[in-house]
């Protein structure tokens, strides 16, 4: 991920769109009041921090009485001294901008959201209904963000202009075989490529599909990879590892069982050596129902004081029985 571009991309968008407001109250440029309560990773063993290749660096349960808060499906972060500039994407078609505040140990302790901005369609009107189901978020350029949508499967780029303007980018092949609520959840961009993935295997297939576009020629057909993953676990997020590989997040949910989350890594060497055999990303860690876990859909990686950190945020589906959790981990592979 090109972290140096993040602040310019996010906050030039914020400034450019400052005069736009929704018809309903509160206006889109109004700040949200967000409460944060610290959470442990293992409720039955609060001192336990190690989880596979990750070490817990703290987390918070977030809540707000503001009806705009929730449904967070994607996350971008950029370190700024004792805080992280942040963008959140809601699956109801909005972008939120703010900061995560860290304590002296680098643990997240609070979140502030300065404003929210409605995503618009190609006609400039705010998105509604199924068309607003935004799921993936990545930096496309210094002043542009790429967003993927499911249900109405597509990838759009938003330019910093006033009002916020969208343009169609690319649509991966074979998306006609993608389920209605199982679409383009994974989106990532590195120095040379755009990556996209669908949540579950395409109908009639057993493996998950991953596409890689070349940024210099997005009109060219993408390279397609198959991933040998448990088909009951959907891919909800992708993130570049800045070395040609990818981090992947998978989610499982079953009534009576609850949520389980897997964090995986696909190396650049694996990708370079790919042929017709399905790739097998390495399992880094798994969150299970006995831990502090919910419907995690957003993932971001950032370097903080020389430490590579992984952040996860959950989508509460605007459901009172679910939580918005923001968890932080150091990436510390075991020997």
pLDDT at 27: 59
Answer with the residue of higher pLDDT: 68 or 28: 68
Q: Tell me, yes or no, if the pTM score tops 0.75.
A: yes
When mean pLDDT is compared across 25-29, 75-79, 89-93, 122-126, the lowest value belongs to 25-29
- The three-state secondary structure class of 272 is helix
Q: Above pLDDT 70, what percent of the chain?
A: 88
Spatial neighbors of 94 by CB under 8 A, at least 6 apart, are 28, 68, 116, 117, 118, 119
Distance of CA 319 to the CA centre of its chain: 19
Contact 175, 148 (CB under 8 A): no
Contact present, 295 and 322 (Cβ < 8 Å)? yes
Partners of 251 in the β-ladder = 234, 261
Nearest to 264 by CA among 244, 241, 242: 241
Question: What domains are defined for the chain?
Answer: 3-331 (2.120.10)
Overall average pLDDT of the 218-226 stretch: 93
Find the helix or strand (DSSP H, E) in which 250 lies.
strand 246-254
Cα distances (angstroms) measured from residue 85 to each of 114, 117, 171, 302: 11, 16, 30, 11
Please give the mean pLDDT across all residues of the chain.
89
Provide the CA 110 distance to its chain's centre, in angstroms.
19
Would you state the pLDDT for residue 115?
Answer: 87
Per DSSP, what are the bridge partners of residue 304? 307
Structure tokens at 59: 């987390």
Q: Which tokens belong to 271?
A: 């990708």
**Do 101 and 114 contact (CB within 8 A), yes or no?**
no
Would you place residue 79 in the very low, low, confident or very high pLDDT band (cuts 50, 70, 90)?
Answer: confident
Per-residue confidence band for 3, with pLDDT thresholds at 50, 70 and 90: very low
- Per-residue burial over 49-65, b = 16 or more CB atoms within 10 Å of its CB, e = otherwise: bebbbbbbbbbbbbbbe
In the block, tokens 């009485």 appear at 65
Residues, the chain, total? Answer: 335
């Amino acid at each position: 991920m090109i972290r140096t571009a993040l602040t310019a991309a996010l906050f030039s968008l914020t400034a450019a769109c400052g005069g736009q407001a929704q018809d309903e109250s509160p206006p889109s440029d109004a700040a949200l009041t967000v409460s944060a309560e610290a959470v442990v990773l293992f409720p039955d063993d609060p001192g336990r921090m190690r989880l596979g290749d990750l070490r817990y660096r703290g987390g918070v349960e977030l809540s707000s009485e503001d009806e705009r808060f929730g449904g967070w499906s994607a996350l971008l972060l950029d370190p700024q001294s004792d805080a992280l500039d942040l963008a959140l994407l809601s699956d109801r078609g909005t972008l939120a901008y703010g900061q995560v505040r860290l304590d002296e140990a680098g643990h997240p302790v609070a979140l502030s959201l300065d404003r929210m901005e409605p995503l618009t369609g190609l006609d400039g009107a705010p998105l509604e209904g199924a068309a607003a189901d935004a799921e993936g978020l990545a930096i496309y350029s210094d002043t542009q963000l790429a967003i993927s949508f499911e249900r109405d499967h597509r990838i759009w780029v938003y330019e910093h202009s006033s009002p916020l303007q969208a343009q169609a980018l690319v649509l991966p092949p074979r998306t006609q075989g993608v389920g209605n609520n199982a679409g383009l959840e994974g989106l990532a961009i590195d120095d040379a490529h755009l990556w996209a993935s669908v949540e579950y295997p395409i109908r009639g297939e057993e493996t998950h599909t991953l596409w890689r576009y070349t940024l210099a020629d997005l009109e060219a057909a993408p390279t397609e990879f198959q991933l040998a993953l448990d088909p009951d676990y959907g891919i909800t997020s992708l993130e570049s590892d800045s070395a040609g590989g990818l981090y992947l997040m998978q989610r499982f949910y079953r009534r009576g069982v609850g949520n389980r989350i897997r964090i995986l890594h696909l190396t650049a060497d694996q990708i370079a050596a790919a042929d017709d055999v399905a790739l097998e990303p390495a399992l880094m860690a798994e969150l299970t129902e006995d831990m502090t876990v919910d419907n995690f859909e957003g993932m971001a990686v950032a370097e903080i004081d020389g430490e590579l950190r992984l952040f996860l945020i959950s989508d509460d589906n605007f459901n009172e029985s679910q939580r918005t959790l923001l968890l932080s981990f150091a990436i510390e592979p075991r020997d």
